[in-house]
Amino acid sequence: MTRKKKGPAPGVTLLGDGRYEVLATARTSTGRRYAQETMPVGSTLGQAIDRRAKLAAQLRAGGPDRRADLPTFEVFSKAWIARMAREGYARGTVEHNAYKLSWGLPALGRLRVDLVTLAALERARDEIEAASTISHRTGSEVWATIRQVVRRAWVEHDCAPPVDLFNVIRPPRCRGGRSTDKRALTAQEVAAILDKAEANVEQGNPGAGRQRRLEAEVILAGGFRAGEILSLTWDCFDAERGTISIRPTVEKTRRGREVALPRRIVAELVSWRREMIAAQHIGLGSGLVFPSPVTGRRRCGDGLRMALKNAARGVGVEVDVHVHTLRRTANRLAMEAGVERSDLRAQLGHTSAAMTDLYRGVRLTDKRAVAEAGSAGWLDLVVGPGEGEGGSTP
């Protein structure tokens, strides 16, 4: 990757393709004025310094402030967040994106979007790295959101630099944050986290807690990936067989597979379908099992992830809980219950060539044993004792 290097003179930056970027400023009676220009290929450093001086003189003499009508990064960020809210994104997703953008405001907030230079991005990156509360993962998410918004601003206002600055700048390397365990959960921890998550979601969005909890239960019961559940449609659910069919086009799923579910989870899904029909859920027309309660369309995974994280903190579980933690937990609990590894791999849908050979000849009864054995411990705590009966979808 070609790095973008600073020039030896203030306001002059060397781009990755060998050209110089010139940024001139001048303080006048009406405030600070800016002018930015990229020198032609083959220009020397001396020519870039001379050009910067001429631009500064023009600004002091009342020359035009280049792109003075453009918004600052802070104004554009607020408009972007407001747009997300209007488009029906979950409140947790909107708030989380606003939080991530707030880390870029000290260095970028007052700059017009056309004046977001490499030096400004480096300041923002250094401030993110210096924060003792940000882990490497959170820092990467913060940087990705800042990058998305800056690029969107450049495109919408036709002010993108000749070289994408994010392709030549080193991303942040954060080493802060709490040291959290990434192990699988126990059955007792699963029950406590799901109870807390349902209660938290109900406070902010009445009626959504039941859906959020059932999503987590289904992921645990079948070891699903987040994208597989978010894209799941009712035509993939067979209540009589007690299975969910995963299409090969979903996320990391290269091969389709049939996942067996415990009977109690089958009964929960049948009941959820009836509740959606009775309440005329906004997402009925989409065919999704777990559509957005606001837009009726497919949701992103941030809402469930943040609900699980907050619930884990609320019950004192020191685990970095996210959606994939549930899949890891399903794997671990099934192994502890003595499930055959080949049956477990077929149920979870691991896709390596070595594992594929082990999938052959695995019957639905074997998958059923995986589902029942792996879910027995937490189902009694979460759903309740007893054998639920599946039925036909209404």
CATH no. of 187-382 = 1.10.443.10
Average pLDDT (323-329) is 84
Provide the b/e sequence for 256-273 (b: ≥16 CB within 10 Å): ebbbbbbbbbbbbbbebb
Q: Which residue has the higher pLDDT, 57 or 78?
A: 78
Q: Which residue has the higher pLDDT, 230 or 69?
A: 230
Q: What is the pLDDT of residue 269?
A: 94
Q: What is the pLDDT of residue 389?
A: 45
Residue (of 217, 220, 198) closest to 207 by Cα position = 198
Torsion angle (degrees, nearest 10) of CA 65, 70, 72, 77: -170
Residue (of 201, 197, 179) closest to 318 by Cα position = 179
With bands split at pLDDT 50, 70 and 90, how would you rate the model's confidence at 317?
Answer: confident
List CB contacts of 103: < 8 A, sequence separation 6 or more: 124, 127, 128, 131, 134, 142, 146
- Other CB atoms within a 10 A radius of the CB of residue 241 amount to 15
Helices and strands counted in the chain (H then E) = 15, 7
With bands split at pLDDT 50, 70 and 90, how would you rate the model's confidence at 31?
Answer: low
For the chain, the domains span 5-60, 73-167, 187-382
Distance CA 62, CA 68 (A): 13
Tens digit of each residue's pLDDT (9 = 90 or more) over 180-231? 556 778 888 889 998 988 887 766 566 678 888 899 999 988 888 888 888 8
Q: What is the pLDDT of residue 78?
A: 93
Percentage of the residues of the chain whose pLDDT score is greater than 90 = 17
The Cα-based distances of 389 to 171, 223, 229, 267, 292 in angstroms read: 52, 21, 22, 6, 27
Percentage of the residues of the chain whose pLDDT score is greater than 70 = 81
Does residue 57 register a pLDDT over 80? yes
Distance CA 18, CA 8 (A): 14
Tokens 């009964």 map to which residue? Answer: 267
Q: Is 0.75 topped by the overall pTM?
A: no
Amino acid at residue number 99: Y
Does residue 145 register a pLDDT over 90? yes
Q: Which residue has the higher pLDDT, 365 or 73?
A: 73
Distance CA 42, CA 18 (A): 8
Tens digit of each residue's pLDDT (9 = 90 or more) over 335-361? 778 777 777 777 777 655 354 343 334
Q: What share of the chain is helix, strand, coil (3-state, %, to 5)?
A: 55, 10, 40
Burial (CB < 10 A; 0-12, 13-18, 19+), residue 389, is exposed
